[in-house]
Structure 1
Amino acid sequence: MSGWALSGRLPALLARSPGLHRLFLRLGRSRAVDHLLDWVAWSAVRAMGVGRLDYERLADRHICVTLAGEEGVSADMDSQVTAVVAATPAGRHKVARALRNLESLAPEVRAGLLKTWIHLVAVTSPSRDAHYLRGGGGPLWNRRPMDVIVAPFVGCQQGCRGCYSQGDRNDGHTDAGRLRAVASQLRDLDVYNVLLVGRGEPFFDDRGRAALFSTAKRYPQMFFTVYTNGLGLTDRDLDDLKAHPNILPFLSIDGPAAINDWRRGAGVYDRVLGVMRRMRERGQFFGYICTVFSQNHEAVADPLFIGQMAAEGCQIGFYSLFVSTPGVSGEGMMLDRASRERYLATIRRIETQVPIPLIDIDGLEAGFGCRARRSVTLYVDAVSGQVSPCIRAAITDERCRLGTPGQGGRRLADILSSEAFRAARDRLPESGTCVAFAKAS
């Protein structure tokens, strides 16, 4: 039996037997299996070495096999979605380039990334498919979220122009217990990736650091993508990040020095590049994230800028369009419709020409529709407990608020199935026009 056939038949078996499904998850998430995967990942990294693999051929083979499947076998549905995205020339380039670039990382970092990926493929993905099949199937996108945005941090040492969290960044406090409780519920929902974004800076104080590292250590089965301004990162923080390869840090930078410092403050550009160089010397995985606005949309899509970021050690470039927030400075920063279309066209044109893969979430949604509307993602304010379909369409509804850890109350799974949450989600547009831009126009 091929590996593909096994990956298709296992979810069907788990779907028919809830008891076996629970046993499968208990074993797959056990400490013994985690230690076993440590050994497997290290052995694989040593065997692969550097420069031995044809990544273009490997990417093509995975995409073709995933799309084809096997007659009579239900497909790994999340892999199908990923493969459809990756099957374009630009997508194939991204996959191959991302895999090849990993060879520049320290062996222990590559092994850690591989271990979490094996967790996702061998345990999380079959479990997700089993839940989907047990629920009767339906539209492919109508299933558990794949990634979730969580805002757990409070406080920031910067005052960036147009920052959407200026009004609430100092409300409440960072609570490690609340973050771990949210992560536990996300793991129970078989979420792949937790994006720790919003409200505050993760390395602003020791409470944020403790919350981040303790949560990532407790849940090695998930990736934790962290957006940081980089200004509070110490050498100890960098060592801790290297010791937790399932944390994927992205440093905020909004273009060349003049534009970046216009928004983020004098001297910030040079300080961020200094952090990048320290991380590159350690062989760490990291990327950069750009907020795209009127003053920088041409500069951040310039292959020269992207090439510089790659030379500094960035593995991936992430792009997100700026959205105006009422009551926050940022007038004239939000792109109009024509400028957005030109920017997205530029990204599509250059993404096969640059040395690292680019991820533009707005461009992805322009082609595939609103991810929040299709239940692919959602937003959890881990300070207040409020759950919303999307960070750009946050709601205030007590019926969609998580209970306090240890004191009972609503759980995330109950909120997602509630009429209140579904009504908020169904108000989002089905098309690729983000609700934030639809309101602006």
Structure 2
Amino acid sequence: MKSFDLEGYLSSGVEQVIAGIMKATAKNPKESLFLIQYLRDSRKASRIRRAHADNGEHIPPFLIASITTQCNLHCRGCYARANHSCQDGIDLKHPMLRADAWGEIFRQAAELGIAFILLAGGEPFLRLDVLEQAALHKNILFPVFTNGTMLTEDSLALLSRSRNLVPVLSIEGNESTTDLRRGSGVYQMLVRSMKRLNEKGIVFAASVTVTKENLAETLSEDFVAALAEQGCKGIVYVEYVPIDAATKAQALDDVTRADMMNRLNTLREYREDMVLLAFPGDERGSGGCLAAGRGFFHINAFGGAEPCPFSPYSDVNVAAIGLREAMKSPLFVRLRESRNLEAEHIGGCVLFEQEQEVRKMLEESHDNQGTNCR
């Protein structure tokens, strides 16, 4: 039986996403010019990763980087606050990575052929210094997942001149649904932010955390059309990860996940003006979860390399040993070699449900530096 070509699968996925973005932004000259060059850079990155793969070294095309622990909102069911990776104030005992350290990580990523780095937090627009570093690396696309409430004139100017930074605004549905989870008045702030972005010709997308409660609403034709009317060029549907037993009922199961994908595929048939994505997506088609370096891994605000944002455990620090060495994390290797990434699960993260297993692997790692390597 022919072995699964993970590198080919991932590179094909990257090209499909880029093609979708190019189609959705065809009427935006500045974005089109950037994307033509980025497509060339992405194909070069794919060749770099393929060369590494031919030498027995797998390099994922994606990274997720949480560049700050701070956030100005307190959203209901927030996994980042639940696992204490998001907080109020600054922990002076454990300083976050400086902007130049992030710049070095981005440089190493480009050299290795990593073409997408998702920036998150906390609220990433609280770290304009890091976003300015990201903007310098035009051969990497940086979707910036934001709550949309911190877009200042300075940040809008940065986005306008840096087409590789794409703001992705979090929304939960209509006004009442969004404000219920994110706080009173947040929906209207999002509407104003979208208007400002659209007026300045800045390409932006939206992110929806999908639960059983908002699935029908957020995957409806009316909801998608309303966002398109605001100028939104894409939606990332992220499956909700329960933070405790009490919220588990909100997470998608096999039936509702299939419903989500069916609705999404229907929307894709006639919304060619938008890029519609699901995360984590088709795990069966990719041979299991893509975390722990199969398709991506997560770097926390202190530089710790983690399997994914929902599994905040680390045994190596990227800033200390470099990106390439961090991919050889004993924890990552154990997870990839085990069957844990292929397990059935409820919600968007298989490793979140296997917390005890991951902790055990971390403890057994001879390079163990604690449960949140800084």
TM over 0.5: yes
- CA deviation string 1:183-213 (max 9, x = no partner): 1222232101111123x10123xxx011111
Change (3 A) 1:188 1:96: closer
- Bigger CA radius of gyration: 1
Corresponding residue of 2:325: 414
Contact residue 415 and residue 421 of structure 1 kept, 8 A: no
> Aligned residue pairs: how many?
337
- CA deviation string 1:271-322 (max 9, x = no partner): 1111111111222111001011132111111111011111111111111011
Contact residue 386 and residue 396 of structure 1 kept, 8 A: yes
Contact residue 192 and residue 223 of structure 1 kept, 8 A: yes
Contact residue 228 and residue 249 of structure 1 kept, 8 A: yes
Corresponding residue of 2:206: 288
Change (3 A) 1:177 1:223: same
SS of 2:63 mapped into structure 1: strand
Question: 1:380: Cα distance to partner?
Answer: 1.1
Distance 2:11 2:112 in 1: 19
Question: 1:232: Cα distance to partner?
Answer: 0.7
Distance 1:202 1:192 in 2: 19
Q: Which amino acid aligns with 2:135?
A: A
Q: Which amino acid aligns with 2:37?
A: K
Distance 1:211 1:96 in 2: 28
Corresponding residue of 2:47: 126
Distance 1:197 1:437 in 2: 18
**Greater shift in the superposed pair: 76-85 or 279-288:** 76-85
Aligned with residue 295 of structure 2, among 367, 370, 376? 376
Corresponding residue of 2:75: 160
Corresponding residue of 1:266: 184
SS of 1:295 mapped into structure 2: coil
Matched, 1:429 2:336: no
Aligned with residue 178 of structure 1, among 66, 86, 101? 101
SS of 1:290 mapped into structure 2: strand
Contact residue 253 and residue 288 of structure 1 kept, 8 A: yes
Corresponding residue of 1:149: 64
Distance 1:216 1:84 in 2: 23
Contact residue 127 and residue 190 of structure 1 kept, 8 A: yes
- CA deviation string 1:381-440 (max 9, x = no partner): 1x222112222223243xx2234xxxxx42221232243430133343236754157559
Matched, 1:358 2:276: yes
Contact residue 318 and residue 358 of structure 1 kept, 8 A: yes
Q: Which amino acid aligns with 2:24?
A: N
Question: 1:364: Cα distance to partner?
Answer: 2.6
Aligned with residue 302 of structure 1, among 183, 201, 220? 220
Contact residue 393 and residue 435 of structure 1 kept, 8 A: no
Corresponding residue of 1:347: 264
Distance 1:277 1:98 in 2: 20
Distance 1:236 1:146 in 2: 30
Corresponding residue of 2:130: 211
Corresponding residue of 1:388: 306
Distance 1:175 1:332 in 2: 39
Contact residue 119 and residue 221 of structure 1 kept, 8 A: yes
SS of 2:264 mapped into structure 1: helix
SS of 1:251 mapped into structure 2: strand
Could you list the runs of 4 or more consecutive aligned residues of structure 1 that deviate by over 6 angstroms after TM superposition? none
Question: 1:148: Cα distance to partner?
Answer: 0.6
What TM-score, normalized to structure 1?
Answer: 0.69
- CA deviation string 1:152-184 (max 9, x = no partner): 113111110011111232344462122112212
Distance 1:180 1:77 in 2: 28
Greater RCO, CA 8 A, separation 6+? 2
Change (3 A) 1:373 1:153: closer
Corresponding residue of 2:366: none
Q: Which amino acid aligns with 1:111?
A: L
Corresponding residue of 2:139: 221
Question: 1:360: Cα distance to partner?
Answer: 0.4
Matched, 1:402 2:318: yes
Change (3 A) 1:362 1:186: same
Question: 1:77: Cα distance to partner?
Answer: 8.6
Contact residue 229 and residue 252 of structure 1 kept, 8 A: yes
Unaligned runs of 5+ in 1: 1-75, 136-141, 404-408
Question: 1:325: Cα distance to partner?
Answer: 2.1
Q: Which amino acid aligns with 1:380?
A: I
Change (3 A) 1:358 1:181: same
Change (3 A) 1:393 1:279: same
Corresponding residue of 2:123: 201
Choose between structure 1 and 2: higher helix proportion.
1
- CA deviation string 1:57-99 (max 9, x = no partner): xxxxxxxxxxxxxxxxxxx99566554798xxxx7xx877643
Contact residue 134 and residue 142 of structure 2 kept, 8 A: no
Distance 1:269 1:159 in 2: 14
Distance 1:250 1:352 in 2: 22
